[in-house]
Amino acid sequence: MKTNAISSFSFDEAVHLWLCENAPTELFTPMWSRAFKKELFLKNYENNLKNLSGLIYAEDVLHNLTYCSYVKTIKYIPMPLYYYSHNESSTTHNKEKNSRNIADLQKVMEYLENFFAKDSFNALIAKIENCNLKIDQIDRYKHLCPPFKLVLKLQRKFTKIKKKALIKKALKGGVNSGI
């Protein structure tokens, strides 16, 4: 039976569910799939993102992960409230903009690693999400560097193995263990 009941999770519970589902990108992307408290949104921007201008790709991951440092509760509404229109020429899907997207992915991965460096569990979550970003980056390189397809395929496989190991470590250590 399908229910339209709103579910409420602590941030720790939401992360645990995300990890149990093999950490798909969707918890931290895209921006259009969630609503934000205005005061926390602005606080996050002022404190963390104001000096990071010019990103056109992966900025949603950056915002959502840093925003989560202010969040205690996440609510889930199991019904569509927004309809996304798939656009093949968008920044996300346009392979012509790969070099710019690759550079943005690198900036976001470096920023997240530095941002969460002092918080061991969130640093682990950032590393897991960085694996998702790295896989995206590798997929974009494949279109720019066809001769290196085999090397990139191996890198992608290694990144997926690393991600699984990080997820296992996070689930074993738990959210409050101070991994």
Please tell me the distance from the alpha carbon of residue 176 to that of residue 163, in angstroms, as a whole number. Answer: 20
49 in any annotated domain: yes
149 in any annotated domain: yes
178 in any annotated domain: no
Local mean pLDDT, 10-residue blocks, the chain (179 residues) = 72 82 66 83 90 84 85 80 75 69 89 84 86 89 82 93 91 58
The number of C-alpha atoms within 13 Å of 30 and in the hemisphere containing its C-beta is 7
2 in any annotated domain: no
In this prediction, residue 16 carries a pLDDT of 83
160 in any annotated domain: yes
Locus of tokens 């093999």: 22
- Residue 61 three-state SS: helix
179 in any annotated domain: no
119 in any annotated domain: yes
In this prediction, residue 28 carries a pLDDT of 67
In this prediction, residue 93 carries a pLDDT of 67
Domain tally, the chain: 1
1 in any annotated domain: no
DSSP state of 90: S
**Cβ(13)–Cβ(75) under 8 Å?**
no
Cα angle for residues 172, 175, 179 (degrees, 5° grid):
65
Range(s) of the domain holding residue 69: 7-78+86-173
Neighbouring residues of 37: CB distance < 8 A, sequence distance ≥ 6:
none
The number of C-alpha atoms within 13 Å of 127 and in the hemisphere containing its C-beta is 19
Please tell me the distance from the alpha carbon of residue 7 to that of residue 16, in angstroms, as a whole number. Answer: 15
